[in-house]
Structure 1
């Protein structure tokens, strides 16, 4: 079949052949230009360093993903707050499509017993809520309060970026008492005289410990090896399989900002004393560390300038901290001490600690509440134990000290400071604010009482509005 004649006669078949070709050409060129501009816009968005704008009440993707921070209260675990929040997410259209409440329908099986129907819409929503991923970028101990970064859904992958950044703390230490955990949630191990300690000595120690140090966590309550706490080795009289590995940390800034004598504060030592059996185990654990020794890893790198435990388990120390359980024959490790002695600067943030002078003052629990407290503000690298710093300062001034208050005031870009406070910082850098936990707490209490806060015009409750206002979408 000869098709050539058909193509030759094509202009005759179409009345306005030339205009049609010109129109097609112009339309093709317009499509190409629009496509080129859209690709340029995408490229600009990818390379932009500006944070993504929070989604509006009418413009969000379900389920919601992103990073935000709450102001954690003292006295509760971080994980318990996350679990409570997931119950709220289950009722929100930010995370579940059409989250209307459904009654639980029950049927009867062959035995006549009640059984929840798998096809019930309630359980469909429940399973949808279970699929919501919630993680934290560095937990806080129950005693501690302040900035707690939370990741939702796909943004949980970004929580690792929160692990290696610097953190700022405000902590209060009380003199005269030593506990097994170095804070007031622990048990009292010993009491020491404090009357000779002056505020100037604390300030001097703060200046002397700035910079890089090697640190070990509280021996009795925090140290583990091969997944087993050190007190288990001591209790069973088992030698440690290898030396303790010190953690590298850096005190970027530290300053004593307040000092209060007895009568000017209400803080007291914890009242629970360590038992006689626990005291023996505590001494054995300390002896085990001294006998085995302490080593430091030169492969541990500080990441102070990045803007510290994600979804897995994290503590005041971080997931990215150097492990205490690495192999003894690691060629990158350097043994600090010869022989069996574990005494070295790696045991403490304080160098050349003085030997406590003999004191005629006998300190008992009757003196509880009579010792002064000091307040420290510090900015530290990832992996720093604030409790250990306070404990070491107490030892350095020939006394003892334990943490009675700990607030994380900043972590990376998130801060407790208001916008006006952050604008006064050096360089005018601004940080992202936190959502106060009371916002979620009121919503949780309303649900438990069978009521709920009235939504706004967009159908969003107060806590949902605050979340959309603060979240950094991924």
Structure 2
């Protein structure tokens, strides 16, 4: 049980947000625990007393007539993301701006092979791309482009406003944004690979659901996927002897491409079919496996050469897990999208964990969300302790609380 004996408890603490719920829902869930609690009873009483002396005009302006513990967050995490979510309680909400501007650390896993409307695997596919040429070494080579001071274009599914409307509202309504989404300066202090996942060594799969034609056309204009697609469709690799050849576009989720080559007179037509993702034309004869095998054998006999080495069987797209420390305004989803283009493919984010924000870090001074289910005897002590620690760290010599002047530096 909390040791609080009538003291008004407020300030800032952090909680480890779980997946599948929004940051706003975390606030509502906290209020459902905090409002009836003994820990925050003094705060509720003080708020009621304050409202009793408000002017009639102030009372009419107040949207929320009920008395609830005042809670805000210092930087949203969408439902897919997990990790450090900073919460301001009472007067602590006035100090949240500093956390919006401080550095943050993330771990993100990125899957190659497709671009989606949300830049993550929960979205609908806008384009698919070749990925067999993507390697850990190739990704490492291009990461330098994303370190230091860079320009980054926010994703269309973001909370940025344009002409008074958030970008994600345009996207959900299928409307084109009034003007081009401009790149803006951000800083990447650290960026490194912490795990490489070859195709077939992980369980993640590219999304199957395709975006509507209108959405794809919109993406071509807004996200400029045409340029990325041209790079992807011209991707080449060196075989064991250094010879280059054009790679076929391979959609592992929808198409199964045999490594045996068809007869020469059918090859060009089949290539066009695969490149467009279309079904085989109805006026073509059904493919005869035996005929294909005979053709492949004859072709191998007459053209046997080390430079004709077949591509290895497709095991699915590779993925990479990155660790990064970035400044305010950085979008990890945009990094995922841009990284795919940089390696001549496309990519989307699988998961995202915010491991640190300001001086709050997972495993050190962040409360686990599951503690709320254990009752106030458990979470009450932890919240009170974290708020007291915050107050001690930010107390001025005169006993007042600072306004987090140094948050931007952390």
TM-score of the superposition, structure 2-length normalised? Answer: 0.66
1:293-332 superposed matches below 5 A: none
- 1-side partners of 2:384 and 2:157: how far apart? 43
- 1:263 alignment partner, SS class: coil
- 2-side partners of 1:60 and 1:263: how far apart? 58
1:280–1:222 CA distance, 2 compared to 1 (3 A): farther
| Other-structure match for 2:207 | 270
1:12-31 superposed matches below 5 A: none
Q: Are the counterparts in 2 of residues 136 and 151 from structure 1 also a CA contact under 8 Å?
A: yes
- 1:273 alignment partner, SS class: coil
Shift of 1:164: 1.0
- 2-side partners of 1:281 and 1:235: how far apart? 12
- Matching of residue 179 in structure 1 with residue 179 in structure 2: no
| Other-structure match for 2:98 | 161
- 2-side partners of 1:203 and 1:154: how far apart? 45
- 1:251 alignment partner, SS class: strand
- 2-side partners of 1:178 and 1:376: how far apart? 18
Q: Are the counterparts in 2 of residues 186 and 270 from structure 1 also a CA contact under 8 Å?
A: yes
Q: Are the counterparts in 2 of residues 234 and 285 from structure 1 also a CA contact under 8 Å?
A: no
Shift of 1:246: 2.1
| Other-structure match for 1:53 | none
- Matching of residue 94 in structure 1 with residue 39 in structure 2: yes
- 2-side partners of 1:222 and 1:90: how far apart? 29
- 2-side partners of 1:264 and 1:165: how far apart? 36
1:412–1:60 CA distance, 2 compared to 1 (3 A): farther
- Bigger Rg, structure 1 or 2: 1
Unmatched segments (≥5 aa) in structure 1: 1-55, 100-126, 291-342, 419-432, 444-452, 454-459
- Matching of residue 281 in structure 1 with residue 226 in structure 2: no
- 2-side partners of 1:235 and 1:162: how far apart? 31
Q: Are the counterparts in 2 of residues 180 and 186 from structure 1 also a CA contact under 8 Å?
A: yes
Q: Are the counterparts in 1 of residues 156 and 171 from structure 2 also a CA contact under 8 Å?
A: no
- 1-side partners of 2:156 and 2:356: how far apart? 27
- Matching of residue 395 in structure 1 with residue 341 in structure 2: yes
Q: Are the counterparts in 2 of residues 268 and 369 from structure 1 also a CA contact under 8 Å?
A: no
1:9-158 superposed matches below 5 A: 57-58=3-4, 61-62=7-8, 64-97=9-42, 130-158=67-95
- 1:461 alignment partner, SS class: helix
- 2-side partners of 1:262 and 1:141: how far apart? 27
Q: How many residues align?
A: 300
Shift of 1:464: 0.4
Shift of 1:231: 8.2
1:26-72 residue CA offsets vs partner (Å, 9 max, x unmatched): xxxxxxxxxxxxxxxxxxxxxxxxxxxxxx7246623x201000011
- Matching of residue 383 in structure 1 with residue 315 in structure 2: no
| Other-structure match for 2:156 | 219
Shift of 1:207: 2.5
1:221–1:272 CA distance, 2 compared to 1 (3 A): farther
1:147–1:98 CA distance, 2 compared to 1 (3 A): closer
- 1-side partners of 2:83 and 2:174: how far apart? 38
- 2:21 alignment partner, SS class: coil
Runs of 4+, deviation exceeding 4 Å: 220-224, 230-239, 353-356
- Matching of residue 465 in structure 1 with residue 381 in structure 2: yes
- 1:162 alignment partner, SS class: helix
- Matching of residue 439 in structure 1 with residue 385 in structure 2: no
Unmatched segments (≥5 aa) in structure 2: 45-63, 236-245, 256-313, 392-400, 402-410
- 2:133 alignment partner, SS class: coil
- 2:254 alignment partner, SS class: helix
- 1-side partners of 2:96 and 2:177: how far apart? 37
- 2-side partners of 1:210 and 1:96: how far apart? 48
Q: Are the counterparts in 2 of residues 173 and 401 from structure 1 also a CA contact under 8 Å?
A: yes
**Greater length-normalized contact order (CA 8 Å, ≥ 6 residues apart):** 2
